[in-house]
Amino acid sequence: DTVGVVFQILIDPTISLTSFASIRELSDHEDEDEILFTTHSVFRIGEIRKIDNNLRLYEVDLKFTADDDKQLRKLTDRIRQESESPTGWCRLGKLLLKTGQFDKAEELYK
């Protein structure tokens, strides 16, 4: 069972110029305004709604966060404190265990 998701992303260009770039000129689809984001980009999830009462298609509003977002920094610091481990993989494993995703944690540790 799959569903379609359309992401509507709000970007404030004054918050960061290094985390995304327009690749409109490089796109094979001239009618699309494509944006390329860095792998560490973070978005806040806003409203999620069905599109035209279609049970299999949703639109999700996302807001691009600043690199120096205070709430994100507090959350990141808290996660690091709660999962003190020498490597990122160990921290991810502990986070998966803490959130009840035991199969994924086991797969990671193998």
Confidence (pLDDT) at 98:
87
Q: Where are the domains of the chain?
A: 1-67, 69-110
Confidence (pLDDT) at 35:
86
pTM beyond 0.85: no
Long-range residue pairs from 7-10, CB within 8 A, at least 24 positions apart, any chain:
7/59, 7/60, 7/62, 8/59, 8/60, 8/61, 8/62, 9/35, 9/43, 9/62, 9/63, 9/64, 10/46, 10/61, 10/62, 10/63, 10/64
pLDDT tens digits in sequence order for the chain, 110 residues long:
788 999 999 988 787 656 788 888 888 887 888 888 888 888 999 999 998 777 789 999 999 888 788 998 898 888 777 767 677 788 788 889 989 999 999 999 88
